[in-house]
Amino acid sequence: MNWSIKSKIINIFVFLSIILTAEHVVFYGDVRAKTVYIIPVSGTVDPGMAAYMERALSREEAPEEDVLYILEIDTFGGRVDAALNIVDTLLDVPPGKTIAYVSGKAISAGALIALASSQLVMKHHTTIGDCAPITYSSEGPQILGEKFQSPLRAKFRALARRNGYPETLAEAMVTAEMEVYEVIINGEKKYLEKKEFEDLSEKQKKNITSKKTVVAEGQLLTMDDTEAHQLGFSQMSVSDIDELLRKMDLENAMVVRIQETWSESLVRFIGHIAPILMLLGLAALYTEIQAPGFGVPGILGILLLALVFLNQYLVGLAHHTEFLIIALGIVFLGVEVFVLPGFGIAGIAGIACVIVGLILSLQGFVLPDPSLPWEKELFVKNISKVLGSFIGAFLLGIFMLKYLFPKFSKTSDGPYLMTTLEDVHADSEQTVRAKIGDSGVALTFLRPSGKAQINEDVFDVITEGSFLEKGTPVFISRIKGNTIIVSARK
């Protein structure tokens, strides 16, 4: 073999090497990261996850050009507003610096987060898709209508356009009414929605050499890793993170796995039980309002409500305005309890301020945006949640005051020496002037203790556990030791 032939062979080999290398760069992207951050995205998508993602995607340990973020996704979805906040955070990261690695399922809000990343890689036998907005009722999960689907489709189109995914197929993840065909027209593969296909001219239809249904009407697009690759979403399927790093020539990069801190995990947990904490806190405050003085129930109620507010503040939903509104409501309630007799304007204003403050602390907006229908859905849920907590707190407070607290106030039955002192009666000057059955009127609000005028005399009295307004006709139902117990006269 002479030198000229060898030279030609070498040139051909070099040319092929360049082509293969170029294909490698186009396929996997020009990834030259020195540090790879792996961020688990698992469980329910909620405001706590959004706050965690914002912290995880704003690393400052290395220059931007040396950093790559891999989102390890395994979630069935969650709140739309939280998912959109995560999407906005991802879009702030420079292009090419985020990879969505689906390690389990990327369903609903999980699919939205995956498509917001610059690249998509899937583990073998995993799935992605089915992002229809749903709500839960007594009849089970219900898919929300066109008003909800339209803005979500627009978001999916924008993300697909940004990352080079088929826009029509991305929309088919949201709307079950779409029927999508894969057609080869003039030698080019296209994905057309049924109406688009029907609008083709006869001349265009004659140039179609192949047509098949990819998404049937009534179904949402959900793909496994192989289908996602064939349809132009996933770049490749891998067995694990190590294979992903190896195929992207990142074996020598420093890999850092970011985990939720204990405080972030606690914040997400508190977010899930916030309605229960609100109910208990409001019940404690109601009990404190109805009882004389200020003690453990009032402190407990303030602490529980403060915990709910602090949790919402940490996930970015509550701010100083909400705090001032709730604080103002507590001040009004304090004035109602300690300054003004009965229950009037101050009490109503206090309750209204606490309700408004709690509702605002559960959402990232004041009033719903008409163009974002899920905000209205969330707004209605938050109102129901807070009002439900108030009603439940009222009932729980009555139960505690009537049945629970009286038991705590009792002493043990003894024995003391040879017997108890339960039946010992030491008449005081007060009880000598009163007897069972005497009638009178409440001079103060009895909750449950206060003053009553009986037989022209004023006595310190206590009710059986109920609360009576000032001016209520009462009679002495029992006298226990030096304690006069009254009930409302019917």
Residue 57, SS3?
coil
Q: Can you list the alpha helix ranges (DSSP code H) found in 339-372? A: 345-361
What's the CA gap between 369 and 377, in Å, rounded? 11
The single residue listed with the structure tokens 């990232």 is: 364
Where does the pLDDT of residue 33 fall: very low under 50, low under 70, confident under 90, or very high at 90 and above? low
What distance lies between CA 151 and its chain's CA centroid? 20
Among 3, 17, 234, smallest CA distance to 123 is for 234
Question: pLDDT at residue 114 above 90?
Answer: yes
Sequence letter at residue 87: V
Judged by average pLDDT, the poorest of 125-134, 226-235, 306-315, 324-333 is 306-315
Q: Can you list the alpha helix ranges (DSSP code H) found in 117-186? A: 146-163, 167-172
Peptide bond between residue 370 and the one before it cis (omega within 30 degrees of 0): no
Among 38, 17, 24, smallest CA distance to 235 is for 24
Q: What is the mean pLDDT of residues 124-146?
A: 77
Comparing 322 with 38, the larger pLDDT belongs to 38
Q: What is each CA distance from 459 to 342, 432, 445, 478, 486, in whole angstroms?
A: 19, 11, 13, 14, 11
Output the average pLDDT for the chain.
Answer: 79
Residue 344 burial (C-beta neighbours within 10 Å; 0-12, 13-18, 19+):
exposed
What's the CA gap between 326 and 355, in Å, rounded? 8
| Confidence (pLDDT) at 206 | 86
Judged by average pLDDT, the poorest of 64-73, 139-148, 408-417, 429-438 is 408-417
| Confidence (pLDDT) at 61 | 53
How do residues 246-294 score in pLDDT, each as one tens digit?
998 888 888 888 887 777 777 778 877 877 888 888 888 777 766 655 6
For residue 421, the number of C-alpha atoms closer than 13 Å in the C-beta half-sphere is 7
Among 17, 32, 95, 100, smallest CA distance to 248 is for 32
What's the CA gap between 436 and 424, in Å, rounded? 17
Question: pLDDT at residue 409 above 60?
Answer: no
Q: How far apart are the first and last CA of the chain?
A: 122
Where does the pLDDT of residue 24 fall: very low under 50, low under 70, confident under 90, or very high at 90 and above? very low
How do residues 97-110 score in pLDDT, each as one tens digit?
999 999 999 999 99
Q: Name the pTM for this structure.
A: 0.65
Judged by average pLDDT, the poorest of 35-39, 180-184, 364-368 is 364-368
| Confidence (pLDDT) at 412 | 46
Q: What is the mean pLDDT of residues 126-136?
A: 83
